[in-house]
């Protein structure tokens, strides 16, 4: 029955909190966009930057995955590989 798939009270409250946090993030992003537009940035320029950030994150994720696989093969941690490839821990 549909009732058996409803989350318990704690889960409902966690979902409400998450929804509220997402609403706050959405509002903050809208305010940031308004600020950038007022500084002279265009929507096209912002879209291009967002697109480039997504591409960067995808490439970074792939690199992290490869570094993780290499660490497993060598039997070391990924942190131990960073100096070998001139990477900063913040990379």
The pLDDT score that the predictor gives to residue 9 is 64
Give the mean pLDDT of the chain: 87
Terminal alpha carbon distance of the chain: 48
The pLDDT score that the predictor gives to residue 33 is 87
The pLDDT score that the predictor gives to residue 36 is 87
The pLDDT score that the predictor gives to residue 88 is 86
Give the global pTM: 0.53
Would you list the DSSP string of the chain? -GGGGS--HHHHHHHHHHHHHHHHHHHHHHHHHHHHHHTT--HHHHHHHHHHHHHHHHHHHHHHHHHHHHHHHHTS-HHHHTGGGT--TT-
Q: Which residues of the chain are modeled with pLDDT < 50?
A: 1
């Amino acid at each position: 029955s549909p009732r058996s798939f409803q989350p318990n009270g704690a889960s409902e409250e966690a979902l409400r909190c998450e929804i509220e946090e997402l609403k706050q993030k959405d509002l903050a992003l809208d305010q940031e966009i308004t600020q950038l537009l007022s500084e002279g940035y265009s929507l096209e320029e912002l879209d291009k930057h967002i697109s480039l950030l997504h591409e960067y994150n995808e490439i970074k994720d792939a690199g992290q995955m490869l570094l993780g696989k290499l660490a497993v093969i060598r039997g070391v941690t990924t942190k131990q590989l960073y100096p070998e490839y001139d990477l900063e821990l913040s990379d």
